[in-house]
Amino acid sequence: MAFLVAGTLQVASQIADARESLGRKGKYSMRGPRVALTLSSPEVSASIVAVLEGVFRTLGFESCQRREASVQGFLGELAAFREQLDALGGPVGCALVALVAPSGQLKQPQQLVRELSRCGALWGRPKVFLLLSSAPGAAPEPGAFLTGLSELCGRFPHWSLLQLLTEVFCRTAEESEATYCPVLRSSLRGALCLGDAEPWGPEPEPSPTARYDLSGTRAALLLSVIHGRPGARHDVEALGTLCQALSFKTTLRTDPTAQAFQEELAQFRECLDAHRAPVSCALVALMAHGGPQGQLLGADGREVRPEALVQELSRCRALCGCPKIFLLQACRGGHRDAGVGPAGLPWFRRWLRASPTTPSHADVLQIYADAQGSSPFPTAGSSDQADILTVYAAAEGCVAYRDETGSDFIQTLVEVFRADPGREVLELLTEVNRRVCQLEVLGPDCPERRKACLEIRSSLRRRLCLQA
């Protein structure tokens, strides 16, 4: 009996600690040590590593390690780092890993991300990856991204990391003469403030010029396969109502074929280019079944790549420098995530009234940038990929859940955006992800409870607020 009581209290303590990791007001509390690791290939200049170490110190990281290795050795070094953290015997507040290598050599960074996500000491805690490319033979001095990040971290310690990165992205694009823009991928469930300042204090308001001007026309295109997707009509109705409330002129097309997906995007782009008044924002929702490699399936069962649809709208002249939002409600594979966390008996869950698990893909922020401003990182964006916000209903390779009442993603998004439409969009989407991550799904073809997690990709260069 004493063993069972002790086990119950241990699980309760772990769950309480995971809850506290998000702190008050949806912010990570950062309790526990902050650890940083720089993995760099031998070709990387010492000046770049020095700037990184300065950024780490500014952000309050007590432990900053550096290991030099070939790119092929990064995985082994990261596994050793994970084992080191687990050996600490307690939770870690935050981990920041900088991966610096010549352009094109970091071809499968997700393996590295998954390795650190297995760390028990980081369960429910933020894991930040800074993936920096360096061009062989380029000047050894850091470029606009690193210098801007170093400066802003010191000037605005109250700002969340996503807010800081948006400002850095803006400066990077300006200094590179709009030829390159970094990209971030986030599954964070709360605001992440890394500065030494008290994270619960008020955040300083950014200057008005740091926001997108949304005074022009707003246009939305909703493409949804209804047939064979129970609840899809509820998503269309809810999203249509939200778009109307946010002053978007909305076009709806249901049951498009794969070819029609492409044709509708092309026609949407042409209409915006022909619009006489200025256009300030576009929103495209793509809702369909998904293929095993993240494809969208049209009503005819044929495939279309969502990247091709994003690229189509990127060519829109009327939207140059304006935000382009893509919402993708579709499966990205067949994996069903059981989540990670302390193992407990089913009755523990009912007694504690909380799920003891979080999605295994949650709490990760990846930043893809160029260390020297000379050539874009392979998965970062060129200038025509700037100002794009893409939100996936599921992590890469995972199932997106939906039932007769609609999808978890769309229904939660509409609820959050309607409650506080004037809030910055990245902050709203982080809250959407937090709520989706709390849900447990018990589907008709899945007897065990499963978790879901959003993926937010952004190359936005200003704060985006859909309502003044």
- Residue 289: active-site member: yes
Residue (of 186, 183, 113, 137) closest to 376 by Cα position? 183
Residue (of 170, 258, 152) closest to 209 by Cα position? 170
Number of other residues whose CB lies within 10 A of the CB of residue 65 = 15
For residue 86, CA distances in Å to 28, 116, 119 come to 20, 11, 6
- Residue 331: active-site member: yes
- Helices H, strands E: what count in the chain? 12, 19
Residue 443 dihedral angles phi and psi, to the nearest 5°: -85, 170
3-state secondary structure of 306: helix
Q: Which residue type does 71 have?
A: V
User: Is 180 in contact with 173 (CB distance < 8 Å)?
Assistant: yes
Name the catalytic one among 119, 331, 398, 453.
Answer: 331
User: Is 465 in contact with 427 (CB distance < 8 Å)?
Assistant: no
Residue 149 in tokens: 């990040």
- Tell me the C-alpha distance between 315 and 153, whole Å: 34
Residue 19 dihedral angles phi and psi, to the nearest 5°: -60, -45
- Tell me the C-alpha distance between 275 and 82, whole Å: 54
Name the catalytic one among 289, 316, 361, 437.
Answer: 289
* Helix, strand and coil percent figures for the chain, each rounded to 5: 35, 20, 40
- Catalytic residues, which ones? 289, 331
